[in-house]
């Protein structure tokens, strides 16, 4: 089943084609997105999640054209993401960050918040339970720290919270931008296991993961797509891609 | 946490806190400026001490747990206050104004405190409510009670218009745009004869309830209490309602979305938050609060003019939010009441009033940039425990020191 497809997706920054006619497909799988620095990986995610507007080309999600959707619409349709530089709301508590991930699935309005608080309380309690379930998947200790501001939480847990926040709303597609950046080897492996286990749990989530660490990529992804200077230069299994001449020169030359 | 708060302990703490705050406010009100400032300094000292000792959270929790006690004390205080001050119309007037400004400040907090959008035009929104209700009563004979609703809707609509620039601009640019809107508002009133122009609108009728005019003084237990007592009760009923609405919004999905926008718009958007909708909502709801307060003000003073709603009034309103503590309902209310009192006490200084005012504000904001009661992390009522559990006061909010958030 096809989850996301891009057709000749392109964006121009001045003269620079940061993403250049990229055709990309993902089904029910984990796809690794790799490429040298500045090859357009993050920009590609920004295009898919609606933060950048494509110069040309199309993005289809679950058979629907979402090329011109705003970021919040993309999220509501079921695409969640994390950021390369961990981006949590530092002032807010662990739990509040998690609840933000459920924003698009909540129904209560400001009107109900003022005039029907018991109804909102019901929804809130269910949501908190849901957040605890997901936090427990990554690190149960975070449940005890739920009311601490994220600014007091160590980096590895912040990375976990960011993924937990993305996953808590049960998206169909998860975009991870270097989820292990800044972690040591041991923490990296732990993180990758946690991400891998997401697919074993009941929610069926497809994942696009950007990673520099090839050991990680080979371990977690079923398929790899390689970008270089905004173009897709190869795709296939990790073995196939790592044999590819163009990929080798891109990495050595890049 | 060294000691676990048990039931009785919590009750005593909340009782002491609410009594202490009411007493402090009363002393501020009746004594000289110096004494009022001393009380303020003392209160601030206590808060800082509490934060150092980590006991401020216990106070918050006890207060939240024993809401009936705290609310009871506050209601009692407001009920008794006019009797304590019955010989002094002027102080009664200050109390009414404190209540009215607190409502505006609670609304302004949605933009400035919760969502991090500067708004230098709260007085214009306040004025919109006042003018709509006043014109409705004076020119069309519409009941002032209905005027409250009209003022609220009128101000909310103006708030929507004021909100549009916030969709495109932030920080300095938004400051400039809202300052411009404030000036346009004042100029528009001065230059529109139908709105009374520079002469204002006199003869705005008071509220009436079953034949009883709110401009009539009350005779209770042989005491004659100036008519301000009616307005104290009326204003504080509305303050209670708006504070309740504000605190419900704060713990709601909407309040959280506003905070997310304040922290990082891109992140907020990628969590599914509709930035356009939420920003406009923060402006419209905040303006609705200001509109209610404006309507109350118009029918209380029976005369309004453009100078009641000018830029300097906007600055004072912003200071109330800053001084009280952004995005903290109790903080903002307290800040508004305190600044109204201090501002009134400064009338003795005549020409030096604004200067003194600025000096006091600068001193407070330098020593305590995050305000009296700073932003906290939210505590929720959970399923299993039924009561919120101990969290922490966010200390890093203060890093943005004194300056306005953009
Ligand atoms: N908003 C922008 N304006 C102008 N240029 C941009 C913008 N965003 C990205 N670029 C450029 O597009 C190119 C691709 O950047 P991108 O961040 O997508 O690379 P990346 O593959 O994620 O690299 P890295 O591995 O370092 O994260 C870079 O040359 C970058 O400078
Ligand atoms: Mg990148």
Spatial separation of the C-alpha atoms in residues B77 and B84, rounded to whole Å: 10
Q: State if residue A50 touches ligand 1 by the CB under 6 angstroms criterion.
A: no
A184 within 8 A of A90, measured Cβ to Cβ: no
Are residues A41 and A157 part of one domain? no
**Maximum C-alpha span of chain B:** 66
Classify residue B196 as left (phi > 0), alpha (psi -120 to 50) or beta: left
Task: Identify which of B252, B263, B272 has the shortest CB distance to residue A90.
Answer: B263
Are residues A117 and A16 part of one domain? no
- Listed in sequence order, the DSSP H helices in chain A are 41-48, 71-77, 94-100, 110-115, 117-138, 141-144, 155-167, 185-200, 214-220, 238-243, 245-253
Look at A80 and B248 and tell me if their CB atoms are within 8 Å: no
Look at B383 and A128 and tell me if their CB atoms are within 8 Å: yes
A6 within 8 A of A22, measured Cβ to Cβ: yes
**Which domains are delineated in chain B?**
1-84 (no CATH), 88-367 (1.10.3470)
B128 within 8 A of B294, measured Cβ to Cβ: yes
| Residue from A40, A55, A211, A226 whose mutation best tests the ligand 1 pocket (most atoms within 8 A of CB) | A40
The angle at the Cα of B349, spanning B346 to B352, to the nearest 5 degrees, equals 100
Are residues A179 and A64 part of one domain? yes
Task: Identify which of A51, A90, A129 has the shortest CB distance to residue B396.
Answer: A90
Q: Is the confidence at residue B394, as pLDDT, over 80?
A: no
pLDDT of the residue at B217: 80
Domain-terminating residue out of A127, A147, A170: A170
Are residues A176 and A254 part of one domain? yes
Residue B220 token pair: 């209770």
Predicted structure pTM score? 0.91
Beta bridge partners of B219: B224
Are residues A148 and A70 part of one domain? no
**CA B52 to each of CA B45, B55, B326, B335, B361: distance values in angstroms, whole numbers, following the listed order:** 11, 8, 20, 22, 24
Q: State if residue A13 touches ligand 1 by the CB under 6 angstroms criterion.
A: yes
B388 within 8 A of B379, measured Cβ to Cβ: yes
Find, among B253, B16, B352, the residue nearest to A124 by Cα.
Answer: B253
* Chain B residues touching chain A at CB-CB below 8 Å: 245, 248-249, 251-257, 259-260, 263-264, 266-275, 281, 285, 375, 377-383, 388-392, 394, 396-397
In a domain, A248, yes or no: yes
Are residues A71 and A4 part of one domain? yes
Q: What is the pLDDT of residues B32-49, one digit of tens each?
A: 888 888 988 888 889 888
In a domain, A87, yes or no: no
pLDDT of the residue at B63: 87
Domain that holds residue A102: 94-170
Are residues A119 and A10 part of one domain? no
In a domain, A88, yes or no: no
Long-range contacts of B3-12 (CB under 8 A, 24+ apart): B3/B58, B5/B58, B5/B61, B5/B62, B9/B62, B10/B61, B10/B62, B10/B65, B10/B66, B11/B62, B11/B66, B11/B69
Are residues A32 and A70 part of one domain? yes
The angle at the Cα of B118, spanning B347 to B289, to the nearest 5 degrees, equals 70
pLDDT tens for chain A, residues 1 to 254: 899 999 999 999 988 999 999 999 999 999 999 999 999 999 999 999 999 999 999 999 999 999 999 999 999 999 999 999 989 999 999 999 999 999 998 888 999 999 999 989 999 999 999 999 999 989 999 999 999 999 999 999 999 999 999 999 999 999 999 999 888 999 999 899 999 888 887 678 999 999 988 888 999 999 999 999 999 999 999 989 888 888 888 876 64
Are residues A163 and A56 part of one domain? no
Q: How many CA atoms lie within 13 A of B350 on its CB side?
A: 1
Q: Tell me, what CATH number does A73's domain have?
A: 3.40.50.300
Q: What is the DSSP letter of A149?
A: B
Are residues A223 and A239 part of one domain? yes
Are residues A242 and A180 part of one domain? yes
In a domain, A184, yes or no: yes
Domain-terminating residue out of A125, A149, A170: A170
The total domain count for chain A is 2
Look at B270 and A71 and tell me if their CB atoms are within 8 Å: yes
Contacts of B269 in chain A (CB under 8 A): 50-51, 70-72, 75
Domain-terminating residue out of A146, A170, A194: A170
Q: Is the confidence at residue B231, as pLDDT, over 80?
A: yes
In a domain, A42, yes or no: yes
In a domain, A84, yes or no: no
In a domain, A246, yes or no: yes
Look at B379 and A75 and tell me if their CB atoms are within 8 Å: no
Q: What is the pLDDT of residues A59-79, one digit of tens each?
A: 999 999 999 999 999 999 999
In a domain, A83, yes or no: no
Are residues A177 and A164 part of one domain? no
């Amino acid at each position: 089943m096809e989850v996301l497809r891009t057709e000749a997706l392109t964006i121009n920054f001045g003269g620079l084609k940061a993403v250049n006619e990229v055709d990309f497909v993902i089904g029910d799988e984990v796809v690794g997105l790799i490429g040298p620095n500045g090859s357009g990986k993050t920009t590609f995610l920004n295009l898919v999640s609606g933060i950048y507007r494509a110069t040309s080309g199309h993005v289809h999600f679950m058979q629907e054209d979402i090329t011109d959707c705003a970021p919040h619409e993309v999220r509501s349709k079921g695409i969640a993401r994390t950021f390369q530089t961990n981006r949590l709301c530092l002032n807010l508590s662990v739990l509040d960050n998690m609840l933000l991930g459920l924003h698009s699935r909540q129904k209560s309005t400001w009107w109900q918040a003022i005039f029907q608080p018991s109804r909102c309380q019901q929804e809130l309690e269910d949501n908190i339970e849901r957040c605890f379930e997901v936090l427990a998947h990554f690190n149960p200790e975070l449940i005890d720290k739920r009311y601490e501001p994220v600014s007091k939480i160590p980096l590895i847990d912040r990375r976990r919270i960011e993924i937990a926040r993305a996953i808590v709303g049960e998206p169909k597609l998860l975009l991870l931008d270097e989820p292990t950046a800044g972690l040591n080897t041991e923490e990296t492996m732990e993180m990758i296991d946690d991400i891998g286990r997401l697919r074993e749990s009941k929610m069926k989530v497809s994942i696009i993961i950007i990673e520099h660490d090839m050991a990680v990529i080979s371990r977690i992804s079923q398929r790899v797509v390689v970008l270089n200077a905004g173009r897709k230069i190869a795709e296939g299994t990790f073995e196939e891609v790592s044999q590819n001449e163009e990929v080798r020169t891109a990495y050595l030359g890049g | 946490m060294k000691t676990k708060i048990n039931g009785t302990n919590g009750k005593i703490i909340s009782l002491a806190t609410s009594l202490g705050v009411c007493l402090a406010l009363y002393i501020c009100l009746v004594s000289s400026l110096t004494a009022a400032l001393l009380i303020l300094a003392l209160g601030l000292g206590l808060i800082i001490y509490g934060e150092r000792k980590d006991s401020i959270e216990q106070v918050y929790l006890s207060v939240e747990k024993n809401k009936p006690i705290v609310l009871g004390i506050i209601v009692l205080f407001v009920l008794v206050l006019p009797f304590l001050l019955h010989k002094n119309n002027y102080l009664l007037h200050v109390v009414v104004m404190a209540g009215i400004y607190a409502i505006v400040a609670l609304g302004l907090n949605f933009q400035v405190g919760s969502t991090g959008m500067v708004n230098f035009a709260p007085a214009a929104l306040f004025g919109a409510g006042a003018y709509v209700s006043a014109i409705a009563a004076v020119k069309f004979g519409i009941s002032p009670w209905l005027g409250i609703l009209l003022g609220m809707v009128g101000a909310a609509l103006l708030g929507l218009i004021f909100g549009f620039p916030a969709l495109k601009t932030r920080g300095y640019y938004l400051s400039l745009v809202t300052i411009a809107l404030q000036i346009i508002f004042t100029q528009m009133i001065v230059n529109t004869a139908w709105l009374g122009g520079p002469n204002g609108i006199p003869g705005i009728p008071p509220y009436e309830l079953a034949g009883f005019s709110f401009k009539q003084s009350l005779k209770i237990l042989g005491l004659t209490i100036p008519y301000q007592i009616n307005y104290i009760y009326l204003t504080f009923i509305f303050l209670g309602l708006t504070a309740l609405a504000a605190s419900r919004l704060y713990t709601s999905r909407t309040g959280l979305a506003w905070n997310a926008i304040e922290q990082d718009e891109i992140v907020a958007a990628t969590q599914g938050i509709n930035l356009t909708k939420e920003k406009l909502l923060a402006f419209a709801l905040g303006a609705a609060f200001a509109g209610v307060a404006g309507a109350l003000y118009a029918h209380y003073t029976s005369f309004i003019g453009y100078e009641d709603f000018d830029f300097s009034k906007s600055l004072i309103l912003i200071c109330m939010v800053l001084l009280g503590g952004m995005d903290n309902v109790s903080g903002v209310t307290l800040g508004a009441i305190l600044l109204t009192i201090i501002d009134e006490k400064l009338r003795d200084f005549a020409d030096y009033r604004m200067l003194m005012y600025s000096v006091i504000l600068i001193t407070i904001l330098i020593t305590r940039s995050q305000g009296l009661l700073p932003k906290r992390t939210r505590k929720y009522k959970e399923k299993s425990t039924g009561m919120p559990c101990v969290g922490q006061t966010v200390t890093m909010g203060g890093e943005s020191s004194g300056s306005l958030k953009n």
